[in-house]
Amino acid sequence: MTLLMFKAKQQDAGQIAALVNSAYRGEVSKQGWTTEADLLAGCRTDPEEILRLISSDDSMFLLCKAEAELIGSVHLQKQAEQVYLGMLAVSPPLQGRDIGKQLLEAAEQAAQEAWAVNKSVMTVISCRDELIAFYERRGYRRTGVSKAFPVNPELWTAKVADLRLEILEKVL
């Protein structure tokens, strides 16, 4: 499968939101291993949030297409001398084929080229051991710092108590 990686445009917001939601929440997400459906109900994001992020300074989405179909995305946000990576998503039926790995590597490279950053940071739900292990295999390390999971009742509700986000980082 040939993958095409490129920067998102404003008109991609709806497709990105649909992809991210399918990878993280709801029944479709259970086809992949990145699902949060047992932890959270509702949506991960919406087209308005994606559009706001695409339109923001020092922010971009990197998209991945195969045969003209959107199969992956990741958000990059410059924060001082580092990049925050979030919403890494791969279509659930295609997970486990190294697409996420390639998208993550492309995002790190794009951040270095666009902003000359020297570190990548991200947050992961602390009980997602398999996801944390995925990032550790890619060079990320646990910082020992965590924070409360954000509340956003317009989009999601927690199914379990005391969710926390663990901060991971990688020197680029």
Model confidence pLDDT, tens digit, residues 118-137:
999 999 999 999 999 999 99
Domain range spanning residue 116? 4-171
CA distances from 39 to 42, 47, 118, 153 (A): 10, 22, 33, 14
**Cα Rg of the chain (Å, integer):** 15
* Per-residue model confidence (pLDDT) at position 11: 98
When divided into structural domains, the chain yields a total of 1
CATH number at residue 31: 3.40.630.30
Residue 148: band (very low, low, confident or very high) from pLDDT cuts 50, 70, 90: very high
- What is the per-residue pLDDT across 58-101, written as a single tens digit (0 to 9) for each? 999 999 999 999 999 999 999 999 999 999 999 999 999 999 99
Q: With beta carbons less than 8 A apart as the criterion, state whether 81 and 118 touch.
A: yes
Q: CA torsion 42→45→76→92, rounded to 10°? A: 60
Spatial distance between the Cα atoms of 159 and 42, rounded to a whole number of angstroms:
10
Spatial distance between the Cα atoms of 78 and 120, rounded to a whole number of angstroms:
9
Q: With beta carbons less than 8 A apart as the criterion, state whether 15 and 6 touch.
A: no
Q: What is the pTM of this model?
A: 0.94
Spatial distance between the Cα atoms of 172 and 164, rounded to a whole number of angstroms:
25
* Per-residue model confidence (pLDDT) at position 29: 87
